[in-house]
Amino acid sequence: LGSNSGNQEQPIYSTRAHVFQIDPNTKKNWMPTSKHAVTVSYFYDSTRNVYRIISLDGSKAIINSTITPNMTFTKTSHKFGQWADSRANTVYGLGFSSEHHLAKFAEKFAEYKEAARMAKEKSLEKMELASSPSQESPADIHSPLTPPVTADLCRINGTGDDVTLSDVSPNSMLQSDLSPTTPTLAHRHVLNTCQVCSY
């Protein structure tokens, strides 16, 4: 993550949670990917203008998810939330020690998702300007895109809380409608995405 001296990717928010992934075979059951609570961090890469959620269990990356404008983080109980990552073709689940930690993580997810959307718009606008004929001045170029609003992307918010999870289990965190016949919204998203995705 930070091995290259030129790497501009920095953690901007960290918390602790139990990490789960949806079973790739059944798409219904949660499989724990960590035996205990681990650090889950949002990273921002200033060179590529990209936000990622990263979690390591020892030296193994158990989450490496790039936040895109079409992702949604869903709270499925008062201490559990999930999001679908179509690039990784999975659904990640996080079990927190308190509602507060879940709410803060969800708030940051929405904030960085919006920042990713604005960065994408800005990038498209730059590409459009770059592909315009050189004899036109910037004043003559009419962009169909609305100029993005400047966001405070460099704000660093972290918690020093060392969270411990005592009796957190996947079953206590699952929505009551996680039955074989009723997949959650995130599951439906993965199923729909898989049918049309190009990854």
Residue 2's pLDDT is 45
CA 172 to CA 153: how far, in whole Å? 35
CA 110 to CA 40: how far, in whole Å? 16
Q: How far is Cα of residue 45 from the mean position of the Cα atoms in its chain?
A: 14
Judged on CB neighbours under 10 Å (0-12, 13-18, 19+), 49 is middle
Q: Please, what sign has the CA dihedral across residues 115, 87, 12, 125?
A: negative
Residue 29's pLDDT is 93
Domains by residue range for the chain, with CATH:
1-126+177-199 (2.30.29.30)
Residue 132's pLDDT is 62
The full DSSP string for 84-126 is EETTTTEEEEEE-SSHHHHHHHHHHHHHHHHHHHHHHHHHHHH
Q: What does DSSP say about strands 30-32 and 90-95: parallel, antiparallel, or unpaired?
A: unpaired
Residue 7's pLDDT is 61
Whether 74 contacts 83, CB under 8 Å: yes
pLDDT tens digits, one per residue of 80-100: 999 999 999 999 999 999 999
Whether 186 contacts 175, CB under 8 Å: no
Which residue ranges of the chain lie beneath pLDDT 70? 1-7, 132-199
CA-nearest of 112, 170, 121, 118 to 144 is 121
Bridge-partner residues for 75, per DSSP? 81
Whether 44 contacts 28, CB under 8 Å: no
Residue 100's pLDDT is 97
Residue 137's pLDDT is 47
Region of residue 77 (left: phi > 0; alpha: psi -120 to 50; beta: else): beta
Residue 171's pLDDT is 45
CA 32 to CA 146: how far, in whole Å? 43
